[in-house]
Amino acid sequence: MPLVRLATWNVNSAKIRLPRLLPWLDQRAPDVVCLQETKASDAEWSETYDAELRERGYEVAHYGQGRWNGVALLSRVGLDDVERGLPGEPRFPADDSAPEARALSATCGGLRVTSVYVPNGRTPDDPHYAYKLRWLDALHAMVSDGPTSSSVVAGDMNIAPTDADVWDPSLFVDSTHVTPAERKALESLTGLGLHDVVRDRWPGERVFSYWDYRAGRFHQDQGMRIDLVLVGDDAVGRVRAAWIDRQARKGSGPSDHAPVMVDLDEAPDGDIGPVVPPPTTPAKLPHLG
DNA sequence: ATGTCCCTTATAAAGGGA
């Protein structure tokens, strides 16, 4: 397998974001893309977006009901054994209500990739917060039951792993995204051997992936790092670069999230495919771009 | 710090969600 570029991006509506998504695919040329908050139904997706993506060489899977949520996977290195949702996932408001489209898995280039849109939680005393924790339990169960070492979990975790991932922790005391229970749930996931490769690569840097649209947050770099690429043991040694594509948050009509990018070197064994030149090292840190 | 953007509808103004 040649070098593989993984990306995850909460696009905040596929319909609105298409004019940003397509050029971004052309420019960044990711091989595997996890999308969240497509806010599209499967019917709308197949009628409106599928062809444009397939023209670009991607196999495509989408899971969405429209209006809210919605996740997708694009891959140019295979897209097999697609699985919608999580086994035993909780539902909201009741366990007999329809599941929300928040997880989509497929095998791409030998990796078991899951695109996730973790519930927001709203506030710690809200029923949505308990639902978030139960949903994270189901995610943990799926990863631990599966081929953990070849797993990649990527998406909008709606959790800032540490206070370093929040622009001003004093403003988020007792807020969702930073509570010990959420962080513990995330740690139990990384405890399975899933590595937060952007933080590993930039241990002391101010790196955010989300900036509220309001109050000029992006302009002041007042954001949070809640979009993660978690890489299992098989691929973590192949990580050649990991960064946040801050450029995609700029300009007109951006999502409030930036894509997270990870380049994997060719697998050490077997057919390594055509020889490719090393990726260009950015002159500046990409996330400061 | 409640200032934006995106969805939807008993739609052209307003409510819900992030």
- HSE of A244, CA atoms in CB hemisphere, 13 A: 28
pLDDT of A286 above 90: no
Percent of chain A with pLDDT over 70: 92
Rounded Cα–Cα distance for residues A62 and A225 (Å):
25
For residues A162 and A183, the answer to whether their CB atoms sit within 8 Å is yes
- pLDDT grade, residue A70 (50/70/90)? very high
A12 touches strand B (CB under 7 A): yes
pLDDT of A34 above 60: yes
Say how far A233 CA is from B5 C1', in Å.
38
Question: Is A69 annotated as a binding-site member?
Answer: no
- HSE of A270, CA atoms in CB hemisphere, 13 A: 6
For residues A117 and A128, the answer to whether their CB atoms sit within 8 Å is no
- pLDDT (0 to 100) of residue A277: 45
Q: What is the mean pLDDT of residues A216-223?
A: 97
- pLDDT (0 to 100) of residue A1: 58
- pLDDT (0 to 100) of residue A101: 98
Find the DSSP H helices in A29-86.
42-48, 50-55
- pLDDT (0 to 100) of residue A269: 65
- pLDDT grade, residue A31 (50/70/90)? very high
For residues A235 and A150, the answer to whether their CB atoms sit within 8 Å is yes
Work out the mean pLDDT of chain A and round it to a whole number. Answer: 93
pLDDT of A285 above 80: no
- Token pair, residue A263, equals 């380049």
A103-148 pLDDT, tens digit per residue, is: 999 999 999 999 999 999 999 999 999 999 999 999 999 999 999 9
Nucleotides of B under 7 A from a protein CB: 1-8, 17-18
Q: Which of residues 104-163 of A touch strand B (CB under 7 A)?
A: 119-120, 122, 128
A279 touches strand B (CB under 7 A): no
A17 touches strand B (CB under 7 A): yes
A206 touches strand B (CB under 7 A): no
Cis peptide leading into residue A93 (ω within 30°): yes
Say how far A225 CA is from B4 C1', in Å.
19
Question: Is A37 annotated as a binding-site member?
Answer: yes
Amino acid A74 reads: L
pLDDT of A100 above 60: yes
For residues A51 and A25, the answer to whether their CB atoms sit within 8 Å is no
Contacts of A243 (CB under 8 A, 6+ apart): A198, A201, A202, A260, A261, A282, A285, A286, A287
A215 touches strand B (CB under 7 A): yes
A54 touches strand B (CB under 7 A): no
Find the DSSP H helices in chain A.
14-28, 42-48, 50-55, 127-145, 180-190, 197-201, 233-236
Structural domains for chain A: 4-264 (3.60.10.10)
Distances (CA, A) of A189 to A119, A128, A228: 16, 20, 12
Hey, which residues of A are catalytic here?
117, 156, 257
- pLDDT (0 to 100) of residue A267: 81
Q: Which of residues 20-39 of A touch strand B (CB under 7 A)?
A: 39
Three-state SS sequence of A127-169: HHHHHHHHHHHHHHHHHHHCCHHHEEEEEECCCCCCHHHECCH
For residues A261 and A242, the answer to whether their CB atoms sit within 8 Å is yes
Provide the residue count of chain A: 289
A164-191 pLDDT, tens digit per residue, is: 999 999 999 999 999 999 999 999 999 9
Residue nearest to nucleotide B8 (CA to C1'): A67
- pLDDT (0 to 100) of residue A283: 40
- Token pair, residue A260, equals 């997270």
Residues facing A154 on adjacent strands: A115, A229
Question: Is A195 annotated as a binding-site member?
Answer: no
